[in-house]
Amino acid sequence: MELTDRDKELIKGHIDRGEPLPPRYKLELFADAPSTELIWPGKTTEVETVVLPFQSIEQIDEPRDEINEELSLFAAGPSGRQSGGWTNKLIWGDNRLILSSLANGPLRQEIEDAGGLKLVYVDPPFDVGADFSFRTKVADADVTKSPSIIEELAYRDTWGSGRDSFLSMFAERVALIGSLMADGGLLFAHFDENVGHEAKALMDGIFGPDRYHGEIIWQLGTGSKSRKFFSIQHNYLLVYRFGESAPTFNPNLPIMREPFAEGSLATHFRNVDEDGRRYRVRVVNGREYTYYADEGRAVGSVWTDIPSMTANSPIIAESTGYPTQKPEKLLERIIAGSSEEGDLVADFFCGSGTTMAVAEKLGRKWIGADLGRFAIHTSRKRLIGVQRELKVAGAPYRSFEILNLGKYEREYFVGVNQNLPEEQRIEDSIAREDAYLDLVCQAYSAERTEQIPPFHASKAGVGVIVGPVDAPVSKSLVDDAVFAAIDCGLSRVDILGFEYEMGLTPAIMDEAKKQGVELSLKYIPRDVFDKRAIAKGDVTFYDVAYVEAEPRVNGRNVTVELTDFGVFYRQEDVDQVINSLKRKNQSKVIIDKGQIVKLTRTGKNAAKREVLTEQWSDWIDYWAVDFDYESQKELLTFTDEHDKQGTAWTGRYVFENEWQSYRTRRDRTLELTSVPHTYEKPGAYRVAVKVIDIFGNDTTRIVDVEVK
């Protein structure tokens, strides 16, 4: 160690004052210090290690049953219900917690049994100025869907301190991804010119520069030319390899070739064979080779033949409307060129699901994750569409399940230590209940009270009950609230919950009203866990939607008809919108009290109000049916204090998606009656009907049927 006396005095002074040491001393003080390292304010090498159990909220084995003789030919073919093996996974939640739980939890063994992660593509939100809202349709109206507050805050955190906060976010994620990579695996990280150079230095520091495998330049298109400087028309793909085995590379596939330039065709491909194909002949080391123009040339590290998802792009037909969507051909070249059929592929910023859709078509296993609820819903529809295509073609496909961290993520946000044994975890949760109640009541602008149990708070004379952080609001809790309100002389009760017991219907509110109590059930959004959102008054509690569905029984055949759906969304303040309209006849479409409304300025602070939603079904984007809801229990895999794995029933059931109807950007029609489902045995069954509205929020209803 070569330190002068002056250096030693400076280091001692920093330690005595409790100050961090200057980075320049790293090489002298630490034997394994990297020779080159990217440093930024707030940098840390800490990586999340928490393990949260995954909840399976939906299983999609087959895209749907049809009354169709052609499709029935494949019922016993390579498709059909999957009896075992790897199930693909679409996970909703914070990818930091998801990755930590995958890397350190029991699901890691399942990943390793599937061969480990052989290829990971990540496309993080690297655009500092990006607008993550998107446009969707209700009836014939275009409506702008803003990200949820928690999504906005996540993006704001990513860029809140500019590149520093982006690099902190990405460093932890990419370190966790690296811990999951298989021997010979490849990581493709997608960036633009804003952060590509810093991202490379960051990943060199985490993985070591010897793991760097190359850089790909993706030319987005010809684009407009700048008169001030060279216009930027490309993104970067940084590639890193893991382990000691050589990565997969398949250079001879058609997708790994690109067309020759027109000038090259005229200059080099002058010969024409009897079939009219243009070719050239080259002699290399005394051996003659024939090259055909229509086969294209081997693609290099600069890709110019894949246009981006722009309005005038020839690939606009595959657009989902998601703002950061990438073309399927880009992912096809990456996945086909750098993995084999049956390999496990992942994307932890999956957006609209392009990586998973391409992986499914190419016969790869996959994992996808995203923070946005609507991203998960968009991916779900897209992947079901891929399943349908493969089923019609008689090609194999895998089932997939939709997972989240559910109540365990909420407990984590509250501060419950998930690494404690079950009994201690419950005690920890009880000890933190007051802080949780304070948080929710503050977000709801309600005043805490302990004078009128079971009410937790009051708001303008309304009794407020906050449901548990780790369980659905039950019918018995609602009944108790109504009885307590009658005893206390309260005429109105608001119940707030993250989840509600299936089967709660408008009838329970009608019954309360007959007893003189106006009952309102509202969802607690995940946004309550961010104190900044609470401080700004950005947290919105939406009324619970309701679904009405009617089963029709004919012997052992049952169809389900969707008969009503109610929502109560409000996106913007009407008066503020009217004031924002500057010109006469200027208009804006908004959501107000469960309706799509077009406001058109008619004068100062005045506007004409036109309701565009003509019927309740306009709100529905997707619905699905599980004809035997209680046939599959939700089981959690856990590791006990002796490092032994076990399973336990959560008391819930997995929704098995057996039939579904949904809208696409090109087909806005929606079937409201399912095809008949035939039960093998007579008896009583519980049918679950799941509805997802145009903003990705889901509501489920249980109906009972008996077949003979």
Q: Is residue 128 very low, low, confident or very high in pLDDT (cuts 50, 70, 90)?
A: very low
pTM of the model: 0.83
Domains and CATH numbers, the chain: 1-33 (no CATH), 55-259+296-404 (3.40.50.150), 410-535 (3.40.1350), 546-707 (2.60.40.10)
Over range 451-457, report the average pLDDT: 90
pLDDT in tens, 312-353: 555 667 877 776 789 999 999 999 999 999 999 999 999 899
Q: Are 60 and 399 in contact (CB under 8 A)?
A: yes
- Confidence check: pLDDT of 703 > 60: yes
| Pick from 202-206, 411-415, 663-667: least confident | 663-667
Output the pLDDT for position 568. 61
Burial 511-550 (b: 16+ CB within 10 A, else e): ebeeeebebbbbbbbbbbbbeebbeeebbbbbbbbbbbbe
Q: What six digits make up the tokens of 330?
A: 């880009």
Neighbours of 381 (CB within 10 A): 18
Output the pLDDT for position 33. 56
Where is pLDDT greater, at 268 or 515? 515
In what side-by-side order are the strands of the sheet with 546-554?
Answer: 546-554, 557-566, 677-678
Q: How far apart are CA 120 and CA 99, in angstroms?
A: 12
Over range 409-428, report the average pLDDT: 80
Q: How many helices (H) and strands (E) does the chain have?
A: 19, 34
Residue that has been written with the tokens 């869907």 in this structure:
145
pLDDT in tens, 180-225: 999 999 999 998 877 778 889 999 999 999 999 999 999 987 666 6
